Amino acid sequence: MQDTQKQRVLVETMTRRDEAEALLRALLDAKATSEKNLAAIRQADFMKSVTGRSAMENAIASTQRLIESFNRVITDLRSNLSDEDLELLGELEDPAPPLR
């Protein structure tokens, strides 16, 4: 793969990772709101009572795994670019750690 293609793939992957991190933040906020609302009406989460995990917890875990996968791909792509190419991209730091 040419360096310019690798650069484009790196930028696109980082963009998708950032979008997944935004989704994770929204899921965490929604989970907190949902739990607050369920507590206010004294209602149990039926899925959690049956499976041990709520749908929100499953979505959060899935999104965290997706972010970790993006970070592995980003690390691999960066290892195949020269320092000069990375400087052009303005990206020499490590991938952002996953949100928890």
Q: Would you say the pTM of this structure is higher than 0.75?
A: yes
- pLDDT score, position 64: 98
Other Cβ atoms within 10 Å of 61 Cβ, number = 12
In a domain, 95, yes or no: no
In a domain, 33, yes or no: yes
**Domain residue limits at 73:** 3-89
- pLDDT score, position 93: 54
- The Cα–Cα gap between 99 and 61 comes to 11
In a domain, 60, yes or no: yes
- pLDDT score, position 91: 52
- In angstroms, the Cα distances linking 6 to 1, 30, 31, 45 are 6, 36, 37, 45
pLDDT tens digits for range 5-27? 888 999 999 999 999 999 999 99
Three-state DSSP state, 62: helix
In a domain, 73, yes or no: yes
In a domain, 100, yes or no: no
State how many domains the chain has.
1
